[in-house]
Structure 1
């Protein structure tokens, strides 16, 4: 589903590459953690997938789309295949949960019945249906993150991308978030999460791609934040 080959990104000609010569493939239905210290290239790699930033060299294919070759006017085709949950969730101010979720569907002129059905389905999926008419500003951080996930899912993407989704969450909320991503994956959506949360990575073992200084230093199908993780460093489910 995703093929990344020799991907390199420099933000300017003299700077050190943010990512350098990265290659990997991701199968449909797979779950991948991107780990590594701050500045290792995790966020840049996620932005390259959605062409929020452009490749300096190399190639990226998402489904049947060559990302580096797609015209700007056709970017919406690529981005419908991707659901993106950013580090900083930006919502429509003074709007309800439901209004924030349906905004992306209204932008592509989805008909009313489809809008209602999809919004209801994703809000139910993330456990926020009963909050549909609540204003975003009245929600907790964890609830806002769930709304961000619902919004990312409403266009029925092939891949859900999340950048540090448990940052600023307490342990209970982080566990709920992890369970949610697992359910989403089990329902057939591929998931890629960039995270510093070693407890998350050690609690549910999935494939791990580790970055350091913009390069892949580990691609481990057995998972774990390190090769020899402390067994105590897990969530109690």
Structure 2
């Protein structure tokens, strides 16, 4: 469960806040799109959930954790609940796909047998088991994004956050990506996707939180990319 209450984030006191008085709740197992134009505050909001950014005012709760109150030594307790797929996929360049995913488990001192089992399972779930021994730098952009997802879910988080996961993908790769996210969600994981992909949002309908100029202007359980409709964006794969 995620509960955001009157969340405000200000970077500069002389400028308008990046986010202002945002409030919503996401229940366990939900699939939610976060939409809005560039600069509307989508990435900032996501970063508040896993405390990469600090709240200026308000409250964020993830399960039983008050995010703004958690201390740095205990931050790992929050991060274990959340898998993160960032806009930019940063990999260990001289390591294979398997090694890049396994590294997440090695950091938290998982035993070797579990590392192997969990890593292979995560790669299988995203359809990348056949490239496990390939260096990530030799993979396509679409394949790299799938490895990033595998890395995000290998520790079996209850929440998966993805920031613009289809931004640089062709239509076929974007469809494959969405199938992966839907499969992950169907297994019980909450999925939150920040996206500009109006076609994806309009075609695969789920709850939409829409931001504009740092404010939440819509919380729509029936889906649809924006309050401002554009017929050319609507088609079904």
**TM-score in terms of structure 2 length:** 0.97
Answer whether contact 1:97 1:136 (CA < 8 A) is retained. Answer: yes
Instruction: Tell me which residue corresponds to 2:56.
Output: 56
- The answer as to whether partners of 2:6 and 2:21 remain within 8 angstroms in 1 is yes
- Cα shift at 1:235: 4.0
SS of structure 1 residue aligned to 2:216? strand
Q: Which whole-Å CA distance do the structure 1 matches of 2:142 and 2:49 have between them?
A: 26
- CA displacement at 1:229 relative to structure 2: 5.9
1:162 match: secondary structure: strand
> Which residue of structure 2 lines up, in the alignment, with residue 102 of structure 1?
102
Q: What displacement does 1:57 show? A: 0.5
Match of 2:160 in 1: 160
Judge which range, 6-15 or 37-46, deviates more.
Answer: 6-15
5+ residue gaps in structure 1?
Answer: none
Instruction: Give per-residue Cα distances to partners, 1:57-80, cap 9 Å, x unaligned.
Output: 100000110000000111111000
Q: Secondary structure at the match of 1:115?
A: helix
CA displacement at 1:13 relative to structure 2 = 2.2
Residues in 1 aligned to 2:45 and 2:233: alpha-carbon distance in whole angstroms: 31
Which residue number corresponds to residue 215 of structure 1? 215
Residue ranges of structure 2 left out of the alignment (5+ in a row): none
On the 8 A contact 2:202/2:233 being kept in 1, the answer is no
Paired residues, number: 236
Is the 2:36–2:226 Cα contact (8 Å) retained in structure 1? no
Shift of 1:230: 3.0
